[in-house]
Amino acid sequence: MSILATGKDLMRVNMGPHHPSMHGVLRLIVTLDGEDVIDCEPILGYLHRGMEKIAENRTIVQYLPYVTRWDYLATMFTEAITVNGPELLGNIQVPKRASYIRVIMLELSRIASHLLWLGPFMADIGAQTPFFYIFRERELVYDLFEAATGMRMMHNYFRIGGIAADLPHGWIEKCLDFCDYFLTGVVEYQKLITRNPVFLERVEGVGIFGGEEAINWGLSGPMLRASGIEWDLRKVDHYECYDEFDWEVQWQKEGDSLARYLVRIGEMTESVKIIQQALEGIPGGPYENLEIRCFARESDPEWNDFEDRFISKKPSPTFELPKQELYVRVEAPKGELGIFLIGDQSSFPWRWKIRPPGFINLQILPQLVKRMKLADIMTILGSIDIIMGEVDR
């Protein structure tokens, strides 16, 4: 801690990278005048693992296990975006049943992500109890994931043209039971938190920005919708089969930390509505498009070939990505998760640029915390909802 020799006695403090409220290894260099924040500079890169460069040296199927390490709380979305790009490039159709199962998994993942946002956010502003409550429901979501995919967090479940395996026997009934139970849990959260005067004192009017400002900063997801902009890619881009379900876009117009909390609580309820409709209307049929085997390249039976170096029981199909470029996006829990993909008539992508929502949303943090109190930094940072795995990639 050093004191700057200026007209005023300002203090420069490091918050992080190892700080209990930092949501990952983020470092903030905060300039303080007493308790008032004069300036704040986020320092990134402590969790950089070269994910974009790794993609250029892997086939899509080989790269799938890596992508769940970007946003490790909303893993289904990173898998979805990874297979959506090649599907659009190769014009591959996804069977109806696979599309319904994908929607169910994506919305369960959204609930799990919002739950693990809510607990630490409440802990940041001084409420410990919800932190233990959210793990109760989140474990049930992970039980469902484990039953369907075999893994609790890093699923490796999506495939080009479908999914890896069909739902096991009894899974749909188990998921419907969870939906009924979870709705009572959300009511419990609202009783405990939403009208709590101490909570309202900490979040109401803290970290305000308007709709025009949010658009200018390129914000997305709950950050954008809490500022009065009714924008959800599930409604805008009509991907998967979201158009077949009856649900509402959650938005607020206040633009403060409370509005962002209310948007996420509302989204969890809407996700349950989508899951229930998908489970009740799930069609029969195949869970993957078997025609995609036609996209597999014929390899010469030489041991020097790339495909033959990796000997396994079931060789992964390799797809030749056409010489095109494409931007594809999904509505992840934190905002617009996008990938800019360039093919080069090879099984490897020539360029794989990730657009993580957390990285873009974090840009506005220095502006929001200026002229606020030191304790408000944690409230504002928590309401942005960042995961450093996807910010640093």
For 100-141, the pLDDT digits (tens) are 999 999 999 999 999 999 988 998 888 888 888 889 889 999
Count of structural domains within the chain: 1
CA-based torsion, 11, 14, 20, 21: positive or negative: positive
Q: What is the pLDDT of residue 274?
A: 93
304, part of any domain: no
According to DSSP H, which parts of the chain are helical? 51-55, 60-67, 75-89, 96-124, 129-149, 171-189, 197-203, 211-217, 222-225, 233-236, 257-280, 306-309, 357-362, 365-369, 376-384, 388-392
Q: What range does the domain containing 279 cover?
A: 11-291+317-392
Closest CA to 316 of 296, 294, 343, 298: 296
Task: Give the full edge-to-edge strand order of the sheet including 2-5.
Answer: 2-5, 9-15, 27-33, 36-43
Q: Kindly list the distances between the CA atom of residue 23 and the CA atoms of 20, 117, 208, 369, in Å, as whole numbers in the listed order.
A: 8, 9, 21, 17
- The CATH number of residue 204's host domain is 1.10.645.10
CB pairs under 8 A, 24+ apart, for 290-298?
291/92, 291/93, 291/161, 292/90, 292/92, 292/160, 292/161, 292/317, 292/319, 293/317, 295/90, 295/92, 295/319, 295/320, 297/347
Q: Which residue has the tokens 């983020």?
A: 26
CA-based torsion, 248, 254, 256, 258: positive or negative: negative
Whole-angstrom Cα distance, residue 366 to residue 238?
Answer: 34
pLDDT tens digit sequence for 42-93: 888 888 888 889 988 888 888 888 898 888 888 999 999 998 888 888 788 8
pLDDT tens digit sequence for 171-230: 999 999 999 999 998 998 888 888 888 989 889 888 888 888 899 999 998 999 999 888
300, part of any domain: no
pLDDT tens digit sequence for 272-299: 999 999 999 898 888 877 666 555 554 5
298, part of any domain: no
5, part of any domain: no
pLDDT tens digit sequence for 296-336: 554 554 444 555 444 444 455 667 778 888 999 999 999 99
Tell me how long the chain is: 393
3 has a pLDDT exceeding 70: no
Whole-angstrom Cα distance, residue 151 to residue 105?
Answer: 13
Please list the residues that pair with 342 across neighbouring strands.
325, 351
310, part of any domain: no
Q: What is the pLDDT of residue 6?
A: 52
242 has a pLDDT exceeding 80: yes
Q: What is the pLDDT of residue 20?
A: 67
Instruction: Write out the DSSP string of 339-363.
Output: EEEE--SBSS-SEEEEE-HHHHHHT
Q: What is the pLDDT of residue 63?
A: 87
286, part of any domain: yes
Q: Which residue has the tokens 């957390």?
A: 358
Q: What is the pLDDT of residue 8?
A: 67
370, part of any domain: yes
186, part of any domain: yes
Provide the percentage of residues in the chain whose pLDDT is more than 90.
29
Which band of pLDDT confidence, cut at 50, 70 and 90, is reported for residue 7?
very low
State the chain's mean pLDDT as an integer.
Answer: 85
Q: What are phi and psi of 340, to 5 degrees?
A: -100, 115
For residue 112, what are its two tokens? 């799990």
DSSP class of residue 377 equals: H
